[in-house]
Amino acid sequence: MVPSELTVSGFQGHIKDKYEAVDRARGTPKTWMWFVEEVGELSHALAKGDDRANIEEEFADVLAWLCTLANINDVDLAEVLVAKYLSERAPEGHK
């Protein structure tokens, strides 16, 4: 069950609190490679399509690694999501 209080900021903060020291020491280039690997795993899970639990796990991994990249590059995901997609100047049509 998903806690009703889960937010983008809250999850990004959780990832930061738990992993930031190791993530910053690894740096952006190596972290990017981990992120891309997880996107690849998600791609394979979606293409195979017969293991719902694996698909869900890979979506979670991709989001966690995206939060890691944002954290070590000092990007507040909630803030940039609001600015880009929820503001009065939100993009129309295809992203």
Within a 10 A sphere around the Cβ of 52, how many other Cβ atoms? 9
pTM of the predicted model as reported, rounded to 2 decimal places: 0.89
Q: Which residue has better confidence, 83 or 2?
A: 83
Tell me the C-alpha to C-alpha distance, in Å, between residue 79 and each of 19, 39, 90: 21, 23, 13
Q: Which residue has better confidence, 93 or 53?
A: 53
Please indicate, yes or no, if residue 91 is contained in any of the structural domains: no
Please indicate, yes or no, if residue 4 is contained in any of the structural domains: no
**Who contacts 16 (Cβ-Cβ below 8 Å, separation ≥6)?**
67, 71
Q: Say if residues 42 and 83 touch (Cβ distance below 8 Å).
A: no
Question: Hunting for tokens 């017969």 — which residue is that?
Answer: 50
Please indicate, yes or no, if residue 55 is contained in any of the structural domains: yes
Show the domain range for 48.
9-86
Please indicate, yes or no, if residue 92 is contained in any of the structural domains: no
Please indicate, yes or no, if residue 2 is contained in any of the structural domains: no
Lookup: tokens for 21: 């020291």
Q: Say if residues 15 and 70 touch (Cβ distance below 8 Å).
A: no
Domain of 61, CATH number, reads: 1.10.287.1080
Please indicate, yes or no, if residue 24 is contained in any of the structural domains: yes
Strands (E), the chain: none
Q: How many domains does the chain have?
A: 1
Please indicate, yes or no, if residue 95 is contained in any of the structural domains: no
**Model confidence over 36-60: pLDDT tens digits?**
999 999 999 999 999 999 999 999 9
**Model confidence over 65-81: pLDDT tens digits?**
999 999 999 999 999 99
Please indicate, yes or no, if residue 94 is contained in any of the structural domains: no
Helix (H, G, I), strand (E, B) or coil at 92: coil
